[in-house]
Amino acid sequence: MEKIYENALVHRLRKQGLDVKQQHPLSVCDEDGTPLGDFFADLFLENRLIVELKAARNVAEEHIAQLLGYLRSSRIETGLLINFGSPRLHVKKYLMSDVRF
């Protein structure tokens, strides 16, 4: 189900004129700038927002940790965690502006 929600959200965002990349690779670097590899953001909007999508009954600590890890390691400041699987749509914004790299 997650892929269907992802495709639907991408379609709607693009209709609004937003630049949306699906399963977009983001480089992960060590503190000294050494490249360590890539992870794939479910969605990457306007080259500045990571969106992690879930289709789970509840948001788990692992889901939050995953998004925060992506933000920290890619040095992207803002992320959204969206869960389509719960009875009510769950959307939460996370900021990394207070985290030291």
- Overall number of domains in the chain: 1
**CA-based nearest residue to 71, from 52, 92, 90, 91:** 52
pLDDT value at residue 101: 45
What pLDDT sits at residue 63? 95
Residue 101 falls inside a structural domain? no
pLDDT at site 22 = 96
Is 100 part of a structural domain of the chain?
Answer: no
The CB-side HSE value for 16 (13 A sphere, CA atoms) comes to 11
The reported pLDDT for the residue numbered 73 is: 81
Q: Which of 53, 25, 49 is nearest to 38 (CA)?
A: 25
Locate 69 and state its tokens: 């890890």
90 falls within a domain: yes
CATH classification of the domain holding 86? 3.90.320.10
Domain span at residue 48? 2-95
Supply the pLDDT for residue 98: 56
* pLDDT score for 96: 86
pLDDT mean for each 10 residues of the chain (101 residues): 91 97 89 88 96 94 93 90 93 79 45
Which residue type is seen at 83?
A: N
Can you give the pTM of this predicted structure?
0.86
